[in-house]
């Protein structure tokens, strides 16, 4: 409740001052009243928000609100009471005791809340005395296991809990096996840097992502001592090069993984050939720079002339102007490569990779998607069978491959490829600033089509295919290569394309489980609409006649103008689909979408993005009919409000929802959802507000 007594007193003083023509004093009393009103309203709003935040587990934010309450009205016991309760939830009894001590010092002596605050302080003292220090009670092995699982920022805090905790932490090798220094939490970074001399021998994986000289100077000292085995080093500048080179010599037999981010102005750089000649047991090398490849490769003839094959298993390079003349000598010395990732490479290099890397299992070629290289290597490191398993080449961000460069390597590994992620452009050889691709086999358009038209990828499990206008020949080759496949389970086709041949191929895939279609065409023909309708109609009939004949579980449709109410109705009849994503579908009517949602009683996940026809009324239909829904994702929906979302959640028949994600919906904010948070028991809510315009 808002305390109106000070406001009433201020208004009485204003009236008396005006009656006495004391206008200066009237202004002073009015200013006091305005401040009282503002503070009282803000105080009450903070109190309610702190409570709501605590109910959804955002205790740190709630504590900030409680502290603001105390700043606004230091004499009110409510702010201290709220803050003490929040600390109590966190188990921080000393903070509770200190908070109530401050309260007793600041609230009025005759305030009736003093007795309650003293009682709560006594309870906190009793709890504090009964606390258990598990570091001294648990077996050392179990304490080490617990410490090793703590996040790094928590370890920094634990160093100050007690001398016992600090001793246990510093003597726990597992707790410091991985270390990351960055600017996200500078206080923790400085704290851990100060104890580096104790923990450096334990660190196996080191990441430095800060330009701060104070941090680098300490780590370069221990780098030179050869303490670390696995390194990720960013913000490398010229003054660090010499110290790092010396450190690599000290670690030449122990360093197995290194990831370098070298700034363009860093001269001299750390040449790749020099690194390999120094670190003879290196397994993974990742090198990222904005410099041309000729500046970072080093002298391959001088460095590797007497060098045997290097045991490198994973090579990841991001540069530009990576030509075959520069990269092939490196590949020839790394015969054991399992994973190869090249970004900024000339297309004609593809022709050499298959011959120079006999053990290669995974290839990323000019692909801008970021992969977890360590996880990729872990999957492929022990695979002794010959042949490429995954190929990710030239995504849809403007760097496409000519079929002449890409099809030969696909043909070479047609029996072993399991994942193919590729883009083609038969109309555009290379960017203007690059040399045209070298065609090693003299063949014109007709020749390469004839040579590869019988390509069959019989063991392919996943296809990601980016299609552009004018590539009907290569599209036909890829579609025919998987037609009738019994192994292909995941298909993604994105671009501008004719739906008819794609729908025909999809209808022949008996094991299809996941389908993503993204069509950028502005218009679609009747034939295209009919072909996609026939596809889903066949799947629905097959599912009714034989439960095992249709396996489709997940579908995403993005900007497909051939998806009309008629097609959507057929999709709704496919009873095996459990996960649905609808993005930017422009040809659907409100009636069509309502009829569709009425069929989805088995669907567990629904993702709606940029769909103007989605309103609060449509959400009501979802709540009434999708009784198995567990995950709901809503993004860029212009006509949805917080009330509409809460009406969906409160539906009596709708008690399965567990997760709700809201992104960039202009009429749904985090503040609005917090207002309802106390009424929601089991639904986890994540809200991301719309991005603000820069201009």
* Region of poorest pLDDT, from 75-79, 306-310, 396-400: 396-400
Question: Which pLDDT score is estimated for 269?
Answer: 67
- Give the pLDDT mean for 496-512: 92
pLDDT at 57: 75
Q: Tell me, what's the pLDDT at 208? A: 78
Q: What is the average pLDDT across 448-464? A: 91
Q: What is the pLDDT of residues 618-656, one digit of tens each?
A: 999 999 999 999 999 999 999 999 888 888 877 765 678
The CATH number of the domain where 65 resides is what?
Answer: 1.25.40.10
Question: 305: pLDDT confidence band, cut at 50, 70 and 90?
Answer: very low
Say if pTM beats, i.e. exceeds, 0.85: no
Residue 616 located in a structural domain: yes
* Residue 16 resides in a domain: yes
Q: Work out the average pLDDT over 359-380.
A: 85
Average pLDDT across the chain, whole number = 83
Q: Which of 129, 151, 177 is the last residue of a domain?
A: 129
Q: Percent of the chain, pLDDT > 90? A: 34
- pLDDT for 602 beyond 90: yes
How sure is the predictor about 113, in pLDDT bands with cuts at 50, 70 and 90? confident
Residue 612 inside a domain? The answer is yes
159: exposed, middle or buried (Cβ count in 10 Å: 0-12, 13-18, 19+): middle
249-285: b (≥16 Cβ within 10 Å) or e: eebbeebbbbbbbbbeebeebbbbbbbbbbbeebbbb
What's the confidence (pLDDT) of residue 169? 87
Helix (H, G, I), strand (E, B) or coil at 693: coil
**Looking at the 3D structure of the chain, how many domains does it have?**
2
* CATH code where residue 688 lies: 3.80.10.10
Higher pLDDT, 423 or 2: 423
Assess whether pLDDT exceeds 50 at residue 184: yes
Give the pLDDT of residue 430.
46
Higher confidence at residue 230 or residue 441? 230
pLDDT score, position 681 = 55
User: In the chain, what is the straight-line distance between the N-terminal and C-terminal CA atoms, in Å?
Assistant: 41
- Whether 139 contacts 170, CB under 8 Å: no
Query: What are the phi and psi torsion angles at 495 (to 5°)?
Result: 140, -155
pLDDT at 513 over 60: yes
Residue 642: helix, strand or coil by DSSP?
A: helix
Residue 485 resides in a domain = no
Residue 695 clears pLDDT 70, i.e. is over it: no
φ, ψ dihedrals at 120, nearest 5°: -65, -35
Q: What pLDDT, on the 0 to 100 scale, is given for residue 643?
A: 86
Number of other residues whose CB lies within 10 A of the CB of residue 508: 14
pLDDT in tens, 517-574: 998 777 888 999 999 999 999 998 865 656 566 789 999 999 999 999 999 999 999 9
- Give the per-residue pLDDT at 427: 60
- What distances in angstroms separate CA 365 from CA 276, 290, 347, 461, 534, one per listed residue? 22, 17, 9, 20, 36
Residue 98: inside a domain: yes
What band does 497 get if pLDDT is binned at 50, 70 and 90?
confident
Read off the pLDDT band of 150 (50, 70, 90).
confident
Final residue before a domain boundary, out of 129, 150, 168: 129
Q: Where are the alpha helices (DSSP H) in 56-112?
A: 59-72, 77-90, 93-106
Is it the case that residue 70 has pLDDT exceeding 70?
yes
605 found inside a domain? yes
pLDDT cut 70: percent of the chain above it: 84
Tell me the pLDDT band of 434, cut-offs 50, 70 and 90: very low
Q: Strand locations in 110-242, DSSP E?
A: 178-182, 205-209, 230-236
pLDDT at 241 exceeding the cut of 70: no
DSSP characters for 543-577?
HHH-TTT----EEEEES-TT--HHHHHHHHT-TT-
pLDDT at 264: 59
DSSP states of 304-324: HTT-------EEEEEEEEE-H
Cα distances (Å, whole numbers) of residue 358 to 137, 333, 335, 381: 55, 12, 7, 14
Non-local CB neighbours of 283 within 8 Å, separated by 6+ positions:
256, 257, 311, 312, 313, 314, 377
Of 301, 311, 241, give the one whose Cα is nearest residue 280.
311
Q: Which pLDDT tens digit goes with each residue over 586-598?
A: 999 999 999 999 9
Q: How far is it, in rounded angstroms, from Cα 443 to Cα 449?
A: 10
The token pair at 693 is 């315009």
Across residues 123-134, what is the average pLDDT?
Answer: 82
Distances (CA, A) of 583 to 412, 517, 580, 634, 635: 37, 10, 10, 10, 9
Crossing angle for the helix pair 59-72 and 77-90, to the nearest 10 degrees: 160
Q: CB of 388 within 8 A of CB of 415?
A: no
Main-chain phi, psi angles of 189, to 5 degrees: -60, -45
Q: What is the mean pLDDT of residues 479-485?
A: 95
Structure confidence at residue 462 as a pLDDT band (50, 70, 90): very high
Domain that holds residue 84: 5-129
| Choice among 151-165, 452-466, 470-484 with the minimum mean pLDDT | 151-165
Instruction: Give residue 688's Cα distance to chain centre.
Output: 14
Domain end: 129, 153, 174, which one? 129
Question: 117 Cβ partners below 8 Å, 6+ apart?
Answer: 77, 80, 81, 84, 100, 103, 104, 107
Query: Is 406 part of any domain?
Result: no
Per-residue tokens: 410: 């696909």
Whether 694 has a pLDDT exceeding 70, the answer reads no
Average pLDDT in the 142-169 region?
84
- The answer to the question of residue 609 being in a domain is yes
3 pLDDT band, cuts 50/70/90, is low
């Amino acid at each position: 409740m808002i305390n109106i007594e000070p406001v009433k007193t201020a208004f009485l003083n204003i009236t008396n001052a005006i009656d006495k023509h004391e206008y200066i004093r009237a202004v002073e009393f009015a200013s006091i009243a305005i401040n009282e009103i503002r503070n009282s309203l803000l105080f009450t709003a903070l109190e309610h928000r702190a409570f709501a935040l605590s109910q959804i587990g955002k205790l740190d934010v709630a504590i900030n609100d409680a502290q603001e309450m105390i700043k606004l009205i230091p004499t009110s016991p409510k702010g201290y009471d709220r803050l003490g309760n929040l600390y109590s939830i966190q188990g921080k009894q000393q903070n509770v005791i200190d908070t109530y001590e401050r309260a007793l010092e600041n609230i009025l002596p005759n305030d009736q809340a003093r007795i309650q605050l003293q009682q709560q302080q006594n309870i906190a003292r009793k709890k504090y005395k009964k606390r258990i220090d598990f570091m001294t009670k648990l077996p050392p092995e179990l304490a080490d296991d617990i410490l090793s699982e703590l996040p790094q920022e928590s370890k920094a805090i634990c160093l100050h809990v007690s001398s016992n905790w600090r001793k246990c932490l510093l003597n726990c090798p597992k707790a410091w096996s991985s270390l990351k220094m960055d600017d996200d939490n500078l206080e923790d970074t400085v704290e851990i840097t100060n104890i580096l001399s104790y923990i450096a021998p334990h660190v196996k994986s080191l990441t430095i992502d800060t330009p701060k000289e104070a941090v680098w100077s300490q780590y370069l000292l221990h780098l030179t001592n050869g303490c670390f085995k696995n390194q990720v080093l960013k913000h490398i500048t010229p003054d660090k090069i010499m110290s790092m080179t010396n450190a690599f010599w000290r670690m030449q037999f122990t360093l197995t993984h290194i990831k370098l981010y070298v700034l363009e102005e860093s001269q001299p750089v750390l040449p790749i050939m020099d690194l390999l000649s120094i670190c003879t047991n290196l397994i993974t090398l990742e090198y990222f720079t904005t410099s041309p490849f000729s500046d970072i490769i080093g002298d391959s003839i001088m460095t590797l002339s007497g060098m045997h094959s290097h045991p490198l298993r994973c090579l990841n390079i991001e540069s530009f102007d990576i030509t075959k003349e520069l990269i092939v000598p490196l590949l020839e010395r790394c015969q054991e490569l399992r994973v190869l990732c090249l970004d900024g490479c000339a297309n004609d290099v593809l022709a050499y990779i298959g011959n120079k890397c006999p053990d290669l299992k995974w290839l990323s070629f000019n692909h801008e998607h970021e992969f977890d290289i360590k996880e990729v290597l872990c999957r492929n490191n022990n695979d002794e069978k010959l042949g490429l398993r995954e190929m990710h080449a030239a995504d849809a961000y403007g760097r496409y491959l000519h079929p002449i460069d890409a099809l030969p390597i696909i043909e070479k590994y047609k029996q072993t490829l399991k994942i193919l992620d590729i883009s083609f452009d038969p109309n555009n050889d290379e960017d203007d600033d690059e040399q045209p691709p070298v065609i090693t086999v003299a063949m014109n358009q007709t020749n390469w089509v004839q040579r590869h038209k019988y390509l069959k990828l019989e063991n392919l499990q996943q296809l990601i295919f980016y299609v552009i206008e004018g590539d009907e020949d290569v599209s036909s080759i890829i579609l025919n290569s998987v037609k009738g496949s019994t192994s292909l389970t995941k298909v993604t086709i994105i671009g501008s394309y004719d739906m008819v041949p794609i729908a025909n191929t999809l209808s022949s895939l008996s094991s299809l489980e996941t389908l993503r279609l993204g069509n950028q065409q502005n218009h679609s023909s009747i034939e295209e609409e009919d072909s996609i309708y026939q596809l889903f109609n066949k799947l629905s009939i097959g599912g009714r006649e034989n439960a095992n004949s249709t396996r489709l579980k997940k579908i995403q449709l993005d900007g497909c103008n051939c998806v009309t109410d008629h097609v959507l109705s057929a999709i709704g009849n496919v009873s095996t689909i459990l996960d649905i994503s609808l993005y930017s579908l422009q040809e659907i009517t409100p009636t069509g979408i309502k009829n569709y949602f009425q069929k989805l009683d088995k669907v567990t996940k629904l993702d709606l993005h940029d769909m103007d026809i989605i309103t609060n009324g449509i959400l009501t239909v979802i709540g009434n009919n999708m009784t198995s829904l567990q995950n709901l994702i809503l993004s860029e929906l212009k006509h949805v409000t917080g009330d509409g979302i809460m009406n969906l959640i409160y539906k009596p028949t709708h008690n399965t929802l567990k997760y709700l994600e809201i992104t960039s919906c202009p009429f749904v904010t985090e503040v609005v959802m917090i207002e309802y948070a106390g009424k929601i028991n089991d639904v986890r809510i994540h809200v991301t507000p719309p991005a603000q315009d820069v201009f």
